[in-house]
A = this chain, B = another copy of it.
Amino acid sequence: MFDILIKNAELITNDESKPLITCGYIGIKDGRIAFISDSLPENAEAREVIDGRNKIAMPGLVNAHSHSAMTLMRNYADDMALEKWLFDNIFPVEAKLTDKDVHWGTMLGISEMLKSGITAFADMYMFMDEVARAVTETGIKANLCKSPVQFFEDGQLKRLDKSQGTIDYYNSYHNSADGRIKVFVEIHSVYMFNENTLRNAAQLAKQLNTGIHIHLLETVAEVESSNKDYGMTSIEICRETGVLDVPVMAAHCVHLTDSDLRIMQEKKASVVHNPTSNLKLGSGIARVPDMMDMGINVCLGTDGAASNNNLNMFEEMNLAAILHKGIAMNPQLMKAQDVLKMGTVNGARAIGFDDTGVLSEGMKADIILVDTDKPHFYPKNDPMAMIVYSAQAADVDTVIVDGSILMKNREFTHIDEEKIKFEVESLSKRLLGR
């Protein structure tokens, strides 16, 4: 007896042995994929049957770099220079944020992500207890991180190493929510840390046997400051201080030298490519095809909604697939099947979930169904191209995480979307001074 049986869906599996199944069946039991095949098992019974006709079932999308609660600053400050955006608009609002604000901003972000087919995300922000609470309540998966360095105290910029807070956070939440939460150590960036705090953070991650989430070489300004402050590139100082000796998910990585790329390859660091945010903020274009040639694990992220302005991995996959073709003037780069992996299994590996991202027996049942019975999918040819080049987030019909149906026919099963929208609209009046 399965808990859920998906029938007659077209399957994209990420399983090398059978990447596509034209008409497939998935049986789910105890949160995992118990059965997957192109034919129905005999005497198949299930508590709930999902009709997969005219749908593609595939691994849930993984948003490997975000600041979910920044949804609160969506469409609030656009088309301006980075400094003006950050110092005159974003920082003043962030200074006002309370734990309650971060709770509702995160709930909004999670709602949007689930509606867009995202089953797991990595988050870096403040009031991270609230983020853990929102993840626990909603049923999504997340990699959360906590910084051992506090930058401000009594309104002054200070670098205070408070590792105990990170240790407590790790002990409270790592593998909590039935294993749906992983905790990494946050290193905001090389320019907000110094050699000492970088070294301590790396040591802490090693001690906790976990990974590090870091912003790395997003802007030309970081290239310059790193050379000035450390006399080496940001990647080199990370190597020197041991940061790259644990699993690292490095967001952005826009401005890497050949030598930096070789270090990332050697250290098996994961790169989170954020193409929309990098373009919109004018940061530049990461050398993703080079990274892929070198076998670096590249995954995708939306970054925060203040610089995107949505949390839509279909847009990131589409953009990743076409952008680098255009830049290199080579349409053979960034094939749909590779970009799909960037948006799913590569992200799952980067953020610390090894038992998802592939539809095969024994894996966690993190599955989305995409409704393809719409004009923009016809005629139905290559299903991988359909997802990467034709789909939009609103085509996601059903979302399953750890075998629980969180959205069905685009309706949440237990998230109160109306309340979230109401709360966010209310608190944004205070925050944004409207």
By a beta-carbon cutoff of 8 Å, the part of chain A in contact with chain B is: 71-72, 74-76, 78-82, 85, 108, 111-112, 115-116, 220, 276, 278-285, 305, 308-312, 315, 318-319, 321-323, 325-336, 373-382, 385-386, 389-390, 392-395, 417, 420-421, 424-425, 428, 432, 434
A379 pairs with B424, CB closer than 8 A: yes
A281 pairs with B331, CB closer than 8 A: yes
- Taken together as a complex, chains A and B put the C-alpha atoms of A395 and B395 apart, in Å, by 11
Apart from A79-B385, A82-B331, list 7 A-B contacts with CB within 8 A: A74-B378, A76-B379, A111-B375, A115-B374, A279-B322, A285-B326, A312-B392
Return the 4 tightest CB-CB contacts between A and B, nearest first. Answer: A279-B326, A394-B394, A379-B428, A282-B331
A14: shortest Cβ distance to chain B, in Å? Answer: 17
B311 pairs with A376, CB closer than 8 A: yes
Q: How many copies does the complex hold?
A: 2
Which residues on B sit within 8 Å (CB–CB) of A373? 421
- Taken together as a complex, chains A and B put the C-alpha atoms of A395 and B115 apart, in Å, by 13
- Taken together as a complex, chains A and B put the C-alpha atoms of A315 and B424 apart, in Å, by 26
Chain B, Cβ-Cβ closest to A339: B79
B312 pairs with A315, CB closer than 8 A: no
Which residues on B sit within 8 Å (CB–CB) of A432? 379, 381
Chain B, Cβ-Cβ closest to A318: B315
B78 pairs with A326, CB closer than 8 A: no
A322 pairs with B280, CB closer than 8 A: yes
